[in-house]
Amino acid sequence: MDSYEYSELLKVLVVKVENIKNIINPEEIEERLKEIEEMENDPNFWSDAKNAGEIQKEKNRIASILNRYKITKQKIDDAVDLFELANAEDDKETLELLFLEAESLEEHIKKAEISVMLSGEHDINNAIVTIHPGAGGTESQDWASILYRMYLRWAERRGFKVEELDYQDGEEAGIKDVSFIIKGDYAYGYLKVENGIHRLVRISPFDANAKRHTSFTSVMVSPEVDDNIDIEIVEKDIRVDTYRASGAGGQHVNKTDSAIRITHIPTGIVVQCQNDRSQHKNRDTAFKMLRSRLYELELEKKIAAAGDKPKSEIGWGHQIRSYVLHPYLQIKDNRSNKAYTNVNDILDGDLDKMLEDVLVSQSS
């Protein structure tokens, strides 16, 4: 790297930091922190433990955002000042040190961008994920099972826990449907970018003629929300069905209708849970899933109102990402517009770079 290249890099990074500032609005955060401090000085504030706890969570979250921004701003300001001084004095030793630290500085700015994209109210929450194959029978159902394994491996790599909520085997291979919770800090913040249609191109292992097939699978990701979330579910708007669980569980599974399916009639959203032997617990979990899906629907409406179209049918023209296994190996994300050749690693759960690239692209 030479002085010109470093100068151009600094220009790009300065713009990135300015974008971060525009997104988080540090002045508003500082004003809100002052308001919270005034509330904390009121003795009555602490009498409502639930409200005080929520305010404290907000305080910690926005203070962390502000602190990260200030550190990042200081780093880029220091780099710019030092570069200008070293350039003016032709200090080759300092310039060489700056060039060596350029990659580290760039990585720090990228992490700051990502932290901004993970600063939403529910980004820190667990993620409820539902995978549903599109048309295509066994081929699409097998693709759904590959994606399911990919997310399980990603969770394992991060030390997150996974709780399966509902699982339906495919008729010949793969899965018809699966819902599960990934439990870990910022699971939803990262996986929210997986919300959409995933397209696979490969030589089908189920085709005796070894022809190339294209398959589609829908991935729906919602934050696991608690009862405090303002989502109203009217009793007349839902239909609750019980059925016999089909997964593992011994004789109990085969003899009792412990599984629960809830249909939200106005939206057509269907959730189901069969992971517990208790019908009551499955019902509670299903309602939690429904609240999360309805919350996600509200987010999609806001996105649509802003001019971005939410996902629709599972098919051509609606995919967020394409996974090509033949005639070459490549995964291409339609949001970040980046391509990846480490296909096997990604399908084995090495998702972080791809997810972060999408998060950063959405912050621009």
Please write the tens of the pLDDT for every residue from 285-322.
888 888 888 877 877 776 566 554 444 444 444 689 99
Of 229 and 28, more confident = 28
In the predicted model, what is the mean pLDDT of the chain? 86
Residues paired with 247 in a beta bridge:
none
Q: What would be the CATH architecture of the domain defined by 235-302?
A: 2-Layer Sandwich (3.30)
The pLDDT score that the predictor gives to residue 306 is: 54
What SS3 string covers 147-165?
A: HHHHHHHHHHHHCCEEEEE
Confidence of residue 140 (pLDDT cuts 50, 70, 90): very high
The pLDDT score that the predictor gives to residue 248 is: 47
Q: Which of 76, 181, 185 is nearest to 124 (CA)?
A: 185
* DSSP for residue 335: T
Count Cα neighbours of 14 within 13 Å in the Cβ-side half-sphere. 11
The pLDDT score that the predictor gives to residue 228 is: 61
In whole angstroms, give the CA distance from residue 54 to residue 83: 44
The pLDDT score that the predictor gives to residue 113 is: 86
- b (16+ CB within 10 A) / e for 217-235: bbbbbbbbbeeebeeeeee
Count Cα neighbours of 287 within 13 Å in the Cβ-side half-sphere. 17
Q: Name the residue with tokens 């829908």.
A: 218
Share of the chain above pLDDT 70, in %: 90
Q: What is the CATH number of domain 127-218+315-363?
A: 3.30.70.1660
Q: What's the average model confidence in pLDDT over 61-76?
A: 92
In whole angstroms, give the CA distance from residue 208 to residue 139: 13
Q: How is residue 49 written in tokens?
A: 């433990």
Start-end of CATH 1.20.58.410 domains in the chain: 3-117
3-state secondary structure at position 219: strand
The sheet with strand 259-264 has its strands ordered as 238-243, 259-264, 269-273
Taking a C-beta distance cutoff of 8 angstroms, is the pair 335, 361 a contact? yes
Highest mean pLDDT among 80-94, 193-207, 309-323 belongs to 80-94
pLDDT at 7 over 50: yes
pLDDT at 124 over 90: no
pLDDT at 211 over 90: no
How many CB atoms are located within 10 Å of the residue 208 CB? 6
Q: What is the CATH number of domain 3-117?
A: 1.20.58.410
The pLDDT score that the predictor gives to residue 259 is: 86
The pLDDT score that the predictor gives to residue 250 is: 42
The pLDDT score that the predictor gives to residue 346 is: 97
Burial class of residue 32 in the structure, from the number of CB atoms within 10 Å of its CB (0-12 exposed, 13-18 middle, 19+ buried): middle
In whole angstroms, give the CA distance from residue 97 to residue 75: 15
Confidence of residue 205 (pLDDT cuts 50, 70, 90): confident
Highest mean pLDDT among 212-226, 272-286, 323-337 belongs to 323-337
3-state secondary structure at position 175: strand
Rg, C-alpha atoms of the chain: 24
The 10s digit of each residue's pLDDT in 249-268 is 444 444 467 888 899 998 88
Confidence of residue 358 (pLDDT cuts 50, 70, 90): very high
Residue 26 preceded by cis peptide, ω within 30:
no
Q: Which of 278, 175, 157, 155 is nearest to 221 (CA)?
A: 155
Q: What's the average model confidence in pLDDT over 117-135?
A: 87
Residues paired with 168 in a beta bridge:
177
Q: How large is the greatest C-alpha to C-alpha distance in the chain, in angstroms?
A: 83
Q: Which residues contact 241 (CB under 8 A, 6 or more apart)?
A: 260, 261, 262, 263
In whole angstroms, give the CA distance from residue 358 to residue 243: 40
Phi, psi of 125 (to 5 degrees): -70, 165
194: left (phi over 0), alpha (psi -120 to 50) or beta: alpha
Q: Which of 287, 251, 265, 255 is nearest to 165 (CA)?
A: 287
How many CB atoms are located within 10 Å of the residue 79 CB? 19
In whole angstroms, give the CA distance from residue 58 to residue 193: 23
Start-end of CATH 3.30.160.20 domains in the chain: 235-302
| H/E run at residue 283 | helix 279-305
The pLDDT score that the predictor gives to residue 313 is: 47
Q: What's the average model confidence in pLDDT over 13-18?
A: 92
Q: Which of 179, 88, 176 is nearest to 127 (CA)?
A: 179
Start-end of CATH 3.30.70.1660 domains in the chain: 127-218+315-363
pLDDT at 223 over 60: yes
